[in-house]
């Protein structure tokens, strides 16, 4: 398996090189040069597999010859061994034709653990094999940072610096990042929004001298390995509901578009996915695009669902590349115009291609609280604000013909205790292993939204541990 850049001006690479590179040198994102395909008999043969073995089987074509299958399977088994539910990704029925798949049973209580626990071990294997080390820099709107730190803390060949927008994550989300005492971990609270943090990360990758100096790598969903490791849970849900002999639909609360892109990738490799619902909060750029071909930036507004407080969804570039028939020049030009003008212009045929599969949904904060309250009263289920948006979207946009809809539960409700208590009167406790989270010492630095300042902090972390 080889990978190419969506912007066409970077050399093709294998999976191991893409893992370490993260972002392509031309500013594009890596995509498979050609897509693997699983037949109906392939899907049927995976029914009943333990989740870790299923994950290795689905990821194997994307990994190719870079990592032996036995090693990949061991990595997946180790990654999921410590999860808090024996099914890893349990599927729960809420109503006729409506299900929720819980992705938050990992060490940091968010769906990001599903990929990060695999990624940390993939990095370890490749870096040890090739006698290399890297400096990982990531931007987080809430959950990615803690999952990345949990996966990388204490690893000998990795330094990791996470940027989060100051004051724009929940207290639990922030403390999960900033209370890890490992020497290879750094945290920066950027005076700005998540989009500012993401732009800083991309600017560091574009700074070739800096990129080479600190051996920069990424764990955000700009890293293709993250997407590859998220495809399996869509497969698991679909197989449990009768695939490949029955279609299924997914409703995904979406910020950076990586999670729903993994669902699209599952469909691209042969899973029978009838519909993908994109759930947005008040930062509704994706919903506006799907509703009226209006992808225009607006200021990022804080909300009850901070992991979705994003206006520039990086992974949309990967879908755009496919919608434009894999034309790298058209993709590059469209993305550069978008960043210059704040508005993405796509033709009506391209927009209609997107709308053929994707459907947008938005819910503001009062609506989110109301959905949390309604769901708890009706079923006893506690959904965090992100998950509540996904469930509301699934209920609002049911599929015809009895196609089941699975809403992705992306975070544990205990990560947002204030919102849960306001909505339901119930304050969900943190798991025992996190009970002392608010007693732990925080370690982070508040810095301005300035590239040189941020690069200096990253350089200091990398230099300290070399």
Q: Which residues have a catalytic role annotated?
A: 112
Q: How far apart are CA 445 and CA 187, in angstroms?
A: 6
Q: Which residues lie below 8 Å from residue 442, measured CB to CB, with a gap of 6+?
A: 174, 175, 178, 179
Q: How many residues does the chain have?
A: 466
Q: Which residues lie below 8 Å from residue 105, measured CB to CB, with a gap of 6+?
A: 83, 84, 85, 88, 89, 90
What letter does residue 111 receive in the DSSP assignment? Answer: T
DSSP H helical ranges for 207-327 = 208-214, 224-240, 258-268, 285-292, 316-323
Signed CA dihedral, 298, 277, 112, 210: sign only: negative
Is 177 in contact with 149 (CB distance < 8 Å)?
Answer: yes
Give the closest residue to 160 by CA, choosing from 144, 149, 176.
Answer: 149
Bridge pairing between strands 134-139 and 358-362: unpaired
DSSP 376-404: HHHH-----HHHHHHHHHHHHSPPSTT--
Tell the burial category of 431 from Cβ atoms under 10 Å away from its Cβ (0-12, 13-18, 19+): middle
Q: 35 by DSSP, 3-state: which?
A: coil
């Amino acid at each position: 398996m080889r990978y190419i850049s969506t912007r066409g001006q970077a050399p093709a690479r294998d999976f191991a090189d893409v893992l370490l590179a993260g972002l392509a040198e031309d500013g594009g994102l890596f995509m498979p040069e050609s897509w693997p395909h699983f037949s109906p008999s392939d899907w049927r043969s995976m029914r009943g597999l333990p989740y870790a073995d299923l994950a290795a089987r689905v990821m194997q074509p994307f990994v190719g010859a870079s990592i032996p299958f036995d090693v990949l399977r061991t990595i997946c088994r180790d990654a999921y061994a410590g999860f808090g539910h024996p099914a890893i990704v349990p599927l729960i029925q809420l109503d006729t034709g409506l299900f929720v798949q819980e992705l938050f049973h990992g060490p940091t209580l968010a769906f990001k653990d599903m990929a990060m626990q695999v990624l940390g071990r993939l990095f370890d294997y490749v870096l040890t094999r090739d006698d290399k080390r890297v400096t990982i820099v990531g931007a987080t709107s809430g959950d990615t940072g803690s999952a990345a730190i949990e996966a990388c803390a204490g690893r000998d060949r990795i330094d990791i610096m996470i940027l989060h927008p100051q004051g724009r994550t929940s207290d639990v989300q922030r403390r999960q990042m900033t209370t890890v005492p490992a020497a290879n971990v750094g945290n920066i609270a950027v005076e700005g929004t998540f989009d500012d943090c993401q732009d800083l990360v991309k600017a560091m990758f574009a700074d070739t001298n800096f990129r080479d100096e600190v051996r920069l790598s990424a764990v955000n969903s700009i890293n293709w390995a993250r997407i590859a490791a998220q495809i399996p849970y869509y497969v698991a849900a679909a197989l449990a509901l009768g695939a490949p002999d029955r279609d299924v639909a997914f409703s995904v609360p979406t910020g950076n578009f990586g999670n729903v892109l993994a669902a699209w990738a599952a469909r691209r490799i042969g899973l029978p996915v009838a519909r993908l619902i994109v759930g947005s909060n008040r930062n509704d750029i994706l919903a506006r695009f799907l509703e009226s071909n209006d992808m225009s930036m607006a200021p990022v507004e804080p909300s009850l669902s901070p992991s979705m407080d994003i206006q520039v969804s990086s992974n949309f570039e990967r879908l755009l590349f496919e919608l434009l028939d894999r034309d790298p020049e058209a993709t590059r030009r469209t993305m550069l115009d978008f960043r210059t003008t704040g508005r993405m212009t796509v033709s009506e045929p391209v927009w209609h291609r997107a709308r053929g599969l994707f459907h947008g949904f938005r819910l503001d904060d009062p609506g989110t609280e109301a959905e949390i309250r309604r769901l708890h009263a009706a079923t006893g289920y506690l959904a965090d604000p992100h998950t509540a948006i996904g469930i509301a979207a699934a209920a609002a946009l049911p599929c015809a013909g009895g196609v089941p809809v699975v809403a992705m539960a992306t975070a544990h409700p205990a990560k947002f205790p204030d919102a849960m208590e306001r909505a339901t009167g119930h304050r969900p406790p943190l798991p025992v292993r996190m009970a002392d989270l608010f007693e732990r010492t925080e370690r982070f630095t508040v810095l301005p939204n300035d590239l040189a300042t941020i690069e200096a902090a990253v350089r200091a972390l990398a230099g300290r541990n070399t």
